[in-house]
Amino acid sequence: MVQRSKSSPAWMHEHVNDPYVQRAQKDGYRARAAYKLLEINEKDKLIKQGTVLADLGSAPGSWSQVAAKLVGKNGKVFALDILPMDAIEGVDFIQGDFREDDVLAQLENLLQNRPLDLVICDMAPNMSGNDTIDQARSYYLCELALDFAQNHLKTGGSFLVKVFQGSGYQEYLTAMRQIFATVQTRKPDASRNRSSEIYLLGKNKR
């Protein structure tokens, strides 16, 4: 298969003709990824009025836009990304590398020991093109996110995380099953079929 980098003509052609890209522009979402979260939420009802959640790897911000709308005034969204993100009402944002201890400390400081109902993680490293390296980098971020979820979710809380199927997948699934009573997979329609990405949803933190 042709490798589609985000500057290739093939990628650009697919992108501008993608119905989710067009819908996102119409609905005012910053990325087509909004529809992945909306579809999962439609099924699993993870985000409701009053939900307090963390959005890891939040930029450009479409998941935070969706979440902020759904949690309403009594809920809260804490978001973090290594890249800058334009402000969204109801979202407290930290810019920093989640792999760094001081960035984690900043996020924890913002939470002020508020237990979370939900952690959503769409983090993905910049792809180098070397599958082994990319897969390892990606699972490292997912492991840090799982650790964060384990430490900050309330009992009964949920964790939604993007992973890439392949090396490391089974081990990660096993780790999630130790923390959550149920772990399910979700592949929303907006997630491109040719992508090995899949979402794991851990419910009912032990």
Ligand X SMILES: C[S@@+](CC[C@H](N)C(=O)[O-])C[C@H]1O[C@@H](n2cnc3c(N)ncnc32)[C@H](O)[C@@H]1O
Question: Which residues are part of the catalytic machinery?
Answer: 162
Helix (H) or strand (E) holding 188: none
Minimum distance between the CB of residue 61 and ligand X, rounded to whole angstroms? Answer: 5
Q: Using the minimum distance from each CB to ligand X, give the nearer residue, 27 or 174.
A: 27
- Identify whether the C-beta of residue 115 lies closer than 8 Å to the C-beta of residue 128: no
**Is residue 102 annotated as involved in ligand binding?**
no
Q: Using the minimum distance from each CB to ligand X, give the nearer residue, 99 or 187.
A: 99
- DSSP annotation of 122: -
Distances (CA, A) of 168 to 101, 136, 139, 142, 175: 24, 8, 7, 10, 11
**Is residue 97 annotated as involved in ligand binding?**
yes
Cis amide bond preceding 60, omega within 30: yes
Applying CB under 6 A, the residues found at the interface with ligand X are: 30-31, 33-34, 57-63, 80-83, 97-99, 122-125, 141
**Residue nearest ligand X (C-beta atom):** 57
Distances (CA, A) of 146 to 88, 160, 203: 25, 10, 13
**Is residue 61 annotated as involved in ligand binding?**
yes
Q: Using the minimum distance from each CB to ligand X, give the nearer residue, 123 or 200.
A: 123
Which two structure tokens, joined as six digits, stand for 138? 């990606």
Binding residues for S-adenosyl-L-methionine: 61, 63, 81, 97, 122
Binding residues: 61, 63, 81, 97, 122
